[in-house]
Amino acid sequence: DSAIVRALKEAAENNKQVTILVEIKARFDEENNIRWAKELEMMGCHVIYGIPGLKVHSKMTLVVRKEEGFINRYVHLSTGNYNENTAKVYTDIGYFTCNEDFARDISDVFNVVTGYSKPASLKRVISAPDDLRDYLISLIDREIKYHKKYKNGAITAKLNSLEDFMIAEKLYEASKAGVKIRLIIRGICCLIPRVKGLSDNIRVHSIVGRFLEHTRILEFNNNDRPRIFLSSADWMRRNLDRRIELLFEIYNDEIKMKLKNILELYWKDNVKSWELREDKEYKKFKMKTELFNAQEYFIQGQVYNGEV
């Protein structure tokens, strides 16, 4: 049984309004999701089964509470699923906030996916399939522009997969302009790094360790004023064209520093990390420095605020 499902049932039993979107097409979880959806409906929950033609892959929770006479909204967004089994073996990051702009955006997203309204203009959240690819390309274009003027363009991205040819072409363009690009991609990578005249400035690492790497973190140097984002989406055509996905920027300086350090620690890994070379082969690092295993470091709780 799922602790999350039990909590939702208990909320409904206590006369709380509970609306749940259950993605029936969730890979490996179809049977469980159908069973849980029926159970939740029987408990009085309002269950939504997604949008025809699109798979809902975003991970979001909105809690609305009346506190001391005021309505307060709390939002949780995540790179990973609300699944106790995968949570034990996947690496993911969740973001919890009561920021009203985030709350308003997520309320609007829920209204869209539940069929109550048409898509609204969002302030803090970028969504697929509407705007996400174009927004990512605009961020890369901005790094190209800054590098041409200030010589400090840099991008670091941690993803599961990179397969979208439009983004790959834009990264090649950025590399040729001199932007330094570091990609930590566990799975599919259709971009070829280290090719002279094309991707000299692109390096690709893949970490395969005790846990399945599942976080999506993006950092754009932004003329030495870094912008950091979390996302549910990989850079794949299916994610950007046929799924409901979310990308959101982190504004809190302390959290930004934590995420920046997480990226640096993953890039530093030379035990479970492989490098994709220009011959399209993955090769282990030659151990010229002290051994460093990022996952083991995180397990020991050695994160996140200090210098890397």
**Catalytic residue positions?**
57
* Residue among 299, 264, 271, 306 at smallest CA distance from 285: 271
- Using CA atoms, how far residue 145 sits from 177, 199, 300, in Å, is 9, 18, 40
**What contacts 285, CB < 8 A, 6 or more positions away?**
270, 273, 274, 275
Bridge partners of 177, per DSSP, are: none
Burial 135-146 (b: 16+ CB within 10 A, else e): ebbebbebbbeb
Half-sphere exposure of 10 (CA within 13 A, CB side): 6
β-bridge partners, 126 = 247
**Which of 97, 93, 124 is closest to 249 using CA atoms?**
124
Preceding peptide of 304 cis, ω within 30°: yes
